[in-house]
A and B are shown apart, each in its own frame.
Chain A
Amino acid sequence: MSKENRVEKQTRVDLLQGTLDMLILRTLLFGPLHGHNIAHYIKQTSEEVLKVDHGSLYPALQRLERRGWVTAEWGTSENNRRAKYYRLTKAGKKQLLDETSKWERLNAAIARIMKPAGEES
């Protein structure tokens, strides 16, 4: 493994499957997007901390569609290319809400353990 690779490893975080699903759903909250949009949206909003292999997006999108959380239809992209747009469904919104609250509870709990009160830096 090259040195460069190791540096990357330290600063970027691999995503678990469930987390990727949640992020995609969150990204789609403000309107339909195609795969390429989603990839860059996640990368930018996470300030490039989250590493998403673009390739792993497509199986995730198929999974979300299969679960009925998103629907897909062909549209035209910003630069006039045919692209598949994914839209959040009602079930998808509900799933996102569930996941978000679960995530918040988990996050709060971990935060309490990692940073006990009074130890503010």
Chain B
Amino acid sequence: MRWRKELSFIIRRLIHRRRAERELDEEIRAHLEMEVERNVAEGMSPEEARTAALRSFGSVALSKEDSRAMWGFGSLEIFWQDLRYGMRMLLKNPGFTTIAVLTLALGIGANTAIFSVVYATLLRPLPYPESERLVWVSERAPNFSVMAISYPDFADWRAQQTVFEEIGVYNRGSYNLTGRGEPRRLDGALLSADVFAALRARAAVGRVFNKEEDSPGAQPVVVLSYGLWQSQFGGDAGVVNQVITLDGRSYSVIGVMPAGFTFPTGLAFPGRVDCWTPVGLLANEPMYQSRGNHPGLLGVARLKSGVTLKQARAEMDAIAARLEQQYPLPNQTIRVRIDPMLDTYVGDAKRALWTLLGVVGLVLLIVCANVANLSLARAAARQKEIAVRVALGASRRRIAQQLLTESVLLAVVGGALGFLLARWGVPLILAIGGDSIPRAAEIRLDTGMLAFTAVVAVLTGVLFGLAPAWQASRADVQVVLKDAARSLMGAGSWLRQGLIVAEVALTLLLLVGAGLLMRSFYRLQQVDAGFTHERVLSFKTVLPQRKYTTDEQRIAYFQGLREKLRALPGVEEVAFASNFPLGKNGNQKTFFIEGQPAPPPNETLWMDVTTASPNYFRALGIRLLRGRYFTEQDNQDHLRGRDLSGLSEGMRRNAALNAIIVDEDFARRHWPNGDPIGKRVRFNPFIGPALTVVGVVTRVKLYRLNEQGGFVQAYLPWLQSPSDGAVVVIKTRLEPERLIAAARRQALALDPEQPIYEVKTLTEQRDISLAPERLNLALLSGFAAVALLLAAIGLYGVISYSVTQRTQEIGLRMAVGARSSNVLKLVIGQGMRLAVIGAALGLLASLALTRVMKSLLFGVSATDPATFATIPLLLVVVALVACYMPARRATKVDPLVAMRYE
């Protein structure tokens, strides 16, 4: 065992270190003395003999150092020495060390923070076993990229497919939990039993539901989330088999999921999930029975091992094509969309996150350039020390290694501080980003992230340490020792200037990026959303179908609520609708224009439809362009006396409809030349009612302020088709926040079992919809500001160093009559040349690179001339200020003092 022998050698040397040193000294001294004796014996004079002996020995110091190196762990030992030496050097220069460490902490901390977000959202597998085989399934049509799944279609897919181990569907749902104190709104999900199987999810307590429980006649069961179990049931395992009341119906609790489990989640389904119920319980309801209805269901499936996404897509599309032949009307042109699960969790956030990671990478590069520059200046000041070490026999490699060790040490200290910064920065990012950051709960700064920080720190140290190390390894000892003041500057100055140019160029790139986002955000806020968000409070409430069974009951509840709310002081208007602008939910319907030919199958007409009470438009300030708003007369009175008993529930629901309000887009597109008022629209070309257009209103932004295009919009009269759930909007004369408590009280007074939830002002709602843009803007402009500061510091450093170097020259110029304005011009000119070259390069880089930001921009081109013109100006002004300070100092040079200066 050779390594054992070696280890014992090292340990012996370690224990008897002093003796070993002494013996080595003695051994070498003896050698030299013997050599001297020998030389004398050969006839040399004692002096000659001594010189010759020393020459033939070479560097004694080096020989000893190399010998000692054999006693330890080799390079590790040297590294340790360098480290201690470096530590001393850094402590000796507290000014330099502080600036460098803070700069590095900022750069590395920013990278750690952003990377921890990128890692948790984009890189880490989803928290389900073998999650790479999980896919997300929906339906699609030629002009409808993601369509919810119709339940009968799902049933056929499940029966016919061979590519998935399991395929299930889910939908967000919510329940009123009653019978346990104040009624509470639970956010839940409806799942088919296959979803648990596909996710490989097991209950922590009890069990999840099975196929038998996932069917229409079954006894209702519910699985609780860990969070709900803790908050509402005190974490009592006895909850299993208890019965709870959801929407007035009894559900047996059969299990509790583990703490980390949540589904669905991600960008499309942010927020909490409290409980899961079987979707199959609803399978007999008309909205689930009708193949043409797509009631918000989405699919999740687990690919069989070895089956590719492509194969799955091919088979599912083939099944969809068969269904189209079987059911031509509802399934016309409908196919299946399948995406990797992770992609759908992350959605649009992907592009922004990668861009941000690129941005912090650039910031780190700027940090490197800056610290490299500082180190170069310091290395120039240390030339003498280095030259002496070289003269004493240190190899250039050793010197370079020493300097590199110092740099890495600096970076590691900066990195440690940076990690702390990130611990503080990540919660800040999450606070700004809100729900726009998918998988936010999975973001953590753990040991893995610490390892990332360590690697980044070491790489950073090497990167910025290369310049001074390289420079020192080239230093000419003779010259340095003779003339310590200026020699290295010649060699180093182009390097330092090059670094500044690069720094300025990168900064400009970041500033342009930030500028574009800023303009884009401004544009976004100027967007006319088509409604007034000021002084509107909104909340949601959903009536249980078991308790409010008829339209009359539902209308009575909401009319009662309206009366109660209108009685509150400061309330101008109270209205209801199925959904509201800039919300997450919407409802789409296909339609036909009476008197116009039916569109070809792949150009099916879709509308975004909102059911709204008469005063909804006034409450939200949605302007009327033609015709009229709905009135209290747009109700179900016209059905009186008609026998509807032969109709299914779905048809009965539609039968009451006879009026429709369309948006300007709708009118323009379908009746470009005529008056839309009085024209008729149908949902089914053959059966059901025809709806008469009674009004045309302005278009609103239904989902996001930056939405463009999209389906035409229409409104149906609330009183003809009251839904169970509604958004209630209250237009106030005062600040709407003041009404929150009162509104809640009034609602509970009307029905103490009916909770209201998501109580928000529309201004808040609008702010929430801007969260992703706000996050991008905040981060990118924050980083750009840091970059600008660094570039200014860098420029200042270089110019003021060069002023110091040129003190003598400047003094001479002033002695022969140069005015301070000449000197000012000279110094500032030097700095501005660098700034302008950097800015020019940065502009070129920006032209090439801002294209990657295109998808993050709104209403601004990636090469927006205004941004490209103003940002370089800003940079030049900052550069001017950074150069002015050292330049002014240069003008204060006293020629007499300067000439003596050395």
Chain A contact residues, CB within 8 Å of chain B: 34-36, 39-40, 53-56, 58-59, 61-63, 65-68, 74, 77, 79, 81-84
Interface centre among B5, B9, B70 (most CB of A within 10 A): B70
- In the docked arrangement, what's the CA distance between A63 and B62, Å? 15
- Name which of B27-35, B356-364, B739-747, B816-824 contacts chain A: B27-35
Establish whether residues B71 and A62, one from each chain, have CB atoms under 8 Å apart when the complex forms: yes
Establish whether residues B58 and A54, one from each chain, have CB atoms under 8 Å apart when the complex forms: yes
- In the docked arrangement, what's the CA distance between A55 and B35, Å? 12
Contact of A84 among B23, B35, B58, B66 (CB under 8 A): B23
Establish whether residues B23 and A67, one from each chain, have CB atoms under 8 Å apart when the complex forms: no
Establish whether residues B70 and A62, one from each chain, have CB atoms under 8 Å apart when the complex forms: yes
Identify 20 new A-B residue pairs, CB closer than 8 A, beyond the known A59-B70, A68-B6, A77-B30.
A36-B30, A53-B57, A55-B58, A55-B59, A55-B62, A58-B28, A58-B66, A58-B67, A59-B63, A59-B66, A62-B67, A66-B10, A67-B6, A68-B2, A68-B5, A68-B9, A74-B23, A79-B37, A84-B23, A84-B30
Q: Could you show 30 A-B contacts with beta carbons less than 8 Å apart?
A: A34-B30, A34-B31, A35-B31, A36-B31, A36-B35, A39-B31, A40-B38, A53-B57, A54-B35, A54-B58, A55-B59, A55-B60, A55-B62, A59-B63, A59-B69, A61-B67, A62-B70, A63-B70, A65-B70, A66-B70, A67-B2, A68-B2, A77-B30, A77-B34, A79-B37, A81-B33, A81-B34, A82-B30, A84-B23, A84-B30
Establish whether residues B58 and A82, one from each chain, have CB atoms under 8 Å apart when the complex forms: no
For residue B49, give the distance in angstroms from its CB to the closest CB of chain A: 14
Contact of A35 among B9, B27, B64 (CB under 8 A): B27
For residue B458, give the distance in angstroms from its CB to the closest CB of chain A: 29
Q: Could you give, for residues 167-205 of chain B, a 1 whenever the CB lies within 8 Å of some chain A CB and a 0 otherwise?
A: 000000000000000000000000000000000000000
- In the docked arrangement, what's the CA distance between A66 and B77, Å? 15
Does B26 make an interface contact (CB < 8 A)? yes
- Given the known inter-chain contacts A36-B34, A82-B30, A84-B23, please indicate yes or no for A53 contacting B56, CB distance below 8 A: yes
Establish whether residues A58 and B34, one from each chain, have CB atoms under 8 Å apart when the complex forms: no
- In the docked arrangement, what's the CA distance between A35 and B23, Å? 13
Does B24 make an interface contact (CB < 8 A)? yes
Establish whether residues A58 and B2, one from each chain, have CB atoms under 8 Å apart when the complex forms: no
Residue of A nearest to B8 (CB): A68
- In the docked arrangement, what's the CA distance between A68 and B10, Å? 12
Residues in B with CB closer than 8 Å to A74 are 23
Establish whether residues A66 and B9, one from each chain, have CB atoms under 8 Å apart when the complex forms: yes
Q: Could you give, for residues 3-23 of chain B, a 1 whenever the CB lies within 8 Å of some chain A CB and a 0 otherwise?
A: 001100110000000000001
The 8 A-B pairs at the shortest CB distance, nearest first, are namely A55-B63, A59-B66, A62-B70, A55-B58, A53-B58, A54-B57, A68-B5, A36-B34
Interface centre among B5, B23, B27, B33 (most CB of A within 10 A): B27
- In the docked arrangement, what's the CA distance between A31 and B461, Å? 51
Residue of A nearest to B64 (CB): A58
- In the docked arrangement, what's the CA distance between A66 and B74, Å? 12
Residues in B with CB closer than 8 Å to A63 are 70
Residues in A with CB closer than 8 Å to B69 are 59
Residues in A with CB closer than 8 Å to B5 are 67-68
For residue B62, give the distance in angstroms from its CB to the closest CB of chain A: 6
Residues in A with CB closer than 8 Å to B56 are 53-54
Contact of B27 among A39, A58, A66, A79 (CB under 8 A): A58
Residues in B with CB closer than 8 Å to A36 are 30-31, 34-35
Residue of A nearest to B24 (CB): A58
Interface of B is mostly: helix
- In the docked arrangement, what's the CA distance between A83 and B69, Å? 22
Establish whether residues A59 and B57, one from each chain, have CB atoms under 8 Å apart when the complex forms: no
Interface centre among B26, B27, B31 (most CB of A within 10 A): B31
Interface centre among B6, B38, B66 (most CB of A within 10 A): B66
Residues in A with CB closer than 8 Å to B38 are 40
- In the docked arrangement, what's the CA distance between A59 and B69, Å? 8
- In the docked arrangement, what's the CA distance between A39 and B57, Å? 10
- In the docked arrangement, what's the CA distance between A74 and B30, Å? 12
Residues in B with CB closer than 8 Å to A54 are 31, 35, 56-58
For residue A71, give the distance in angstroms from its CB to the closest CB of chain B: 11
Residues in A with CB closer than 8 Å to B30 are 34, 36, 77, 81-84
Contact of A79 among B34, B57, B62 (CB under 8 A): B34
Residues in A with CB closer than 8 Å to B37 are 79
Residue of B nearest to A63 (CB): B70
Q: Could you give, for residues 214-245 of chain B, a 1 whenever the CB lies within 8 Å of some chain A CB and a 0 otherwise?
A: 00000000000000000000000000000000
- In the docked arrangement, what's the CA distance between A62 and B67, Å? 6
Establish whether residues B70 and A82, one from each chain, have CB atoms under 8 Å apart when the complex forms: no
- In the docked arrangement, what's the CA distance between A92 and B239, Å? 77
- In the docked arrangement, what's the CA distance between A63 and B6, Å? 10
Residues in B with CB closer than 8 Å to A67 are 2, 5-6
Residue of B nearest to A84 (CB): B27
- In the docked arrangement, what's the CA distance between A74 and B20, Å? 12
- In the docked arrangement, what's the CA distance between A79 and B70, Å? 29
- In the docked arrangement, what's the CA distance between A82 and B31, Å? 10
For residue A12, give the distance in angstroms from its CB to the closest CB of chain B: 12
Residues in A with CB closer than 8 Å to B10 are 66
Contact of A83 among B6, B27, B63 (CB under 8 A): B27
- In the docked arrangement, what's the CA distance between A84 and B19, Å? 14
- In the docked arrangement, what's the CA distance between A63 and B34, Å? 23
For residue A48, give the distance in angstroms from its CB to the closest CB of chain B: 12
Residues in A with CB closer than 8 Å to B60 are 55
Q: Could you give, for residues 49-93 of chain B, a 1 whenever the CB lies within 8 Å of some chain A CB and a 0 otherwise?
A: 000000011111011101101110000000000000000000000
For residue B598, give the distance in angstroms from its CB to the closest CB of chain A: 89
Contact of A55 among B6, B57, B71 (CB under 8 A): B57
Residues in A with CB closer than 8 Å to B2 are 67-68
Contact of B63 among A56, A68, A84 (CB under 8 A): A56
Residues in B with CB closer than 8 Å to A84 are 23, 27, 30
Residues in A with CB closer than 8 Å to B59 are 55
Residues in B with CB closer than 8 Å to A66 are 6, 9-10, 70-71
For residue A53, give the distance in angstroms from its CB to the closest CB of chain B: 4
For residue B55, give the distance in angstroms from its CB to the closest CB of chain A: 9
For residue B1, give the distance in angstroms from its CB to the closest CB of chain A: 10
- In the docked arrangement, what's the CA distance between A61 and B70, Å? 9
Residues in A with CB closer than 8 Å to B63 are 53, 55-56, 58-59
Residue of A nearest to B393 (CB): A55
For residue B542, give the distance in angstroms from its CB to the closest CB of chain A: 80
Residues in A with CB closer than 8 Å to B6 are 66-68
- In the docked arrangement, what's the CA distance between A121 and B60, Å? 45
Residues in A with CB closer than 8 Å to B28 are 58
- In the docked arrangement, what's the CA distance between A61 and B30, Å? 15
- In the docked arrangement, what's the CA distance between A62 and B72, Å? 11
Establish whether residues B58 and A56, one from each chain, have CB atoms under 8 Å apart when the complex forms: yes
- Given the known inter-chain contacts A59-B67, A59-B69, please indicate yes or no for A82 contacting B9, CB distance below 8 A: no
For residue B284, give the distance in angstroms from its CB to the closest CB of chain A: 84
- In the docked arrangement, what's the CA distance between A55 and B70, Å? 14
- In the docked arrangement, what's the CA distance between A34 and B26, Å? 12
- In the docked arrangement, what's the CA distance between A34 and B38, Å? 15
Q: Could you give, for residues 640-672 of chain B, a 1 whenever the CB lies within 8 Å of some chain A CB and a 0 otherwise?
A: 000000000000000000000000000000000
For residue A62, give the distance in angstroms from its CB to the closest CB of chain B: 4
- In the docked arrangement, what's the CA distance between A66 and B8, Å? 9
- In the docked arrangement, what's the CA distance between A35 and B64, Å? 14
- In the docked arrangement, what's the CA distance between A69 and B320, Å? 79
For residue B224, give the distance in angstroms from its CB to the closest CB of chain A: 66
Residues in A with CB closer than 8 Å to B57 are 53-55
Residue of A nearest to B34 (CB): A36
Residues in B with CB closer than 8 Å to A35 are 27, 31
For residue B39, give the distance in angstroms from its CB to the closest CB of chain A: 12
- In the docked arrangement, what's the CA distance between A62 and B59, Å? 17
Residue of B nearest to A37 (CB): B34
Residues in B with CB closer than 8 Å to A65 are 9, 70
Residue of A nearest to B5 (CB): A68
- In the docked arrangement, what's the CA distance between A59 and B72, Å? 12
- In the docked arrangement, what's the CA distance between A85 and B886, Å? 65
- In the docked arrangement, what's the CA distance between A36 and B28, Å? 9
- In the docked arrangement, what's the CA distance between A61 and B71, Å? 11
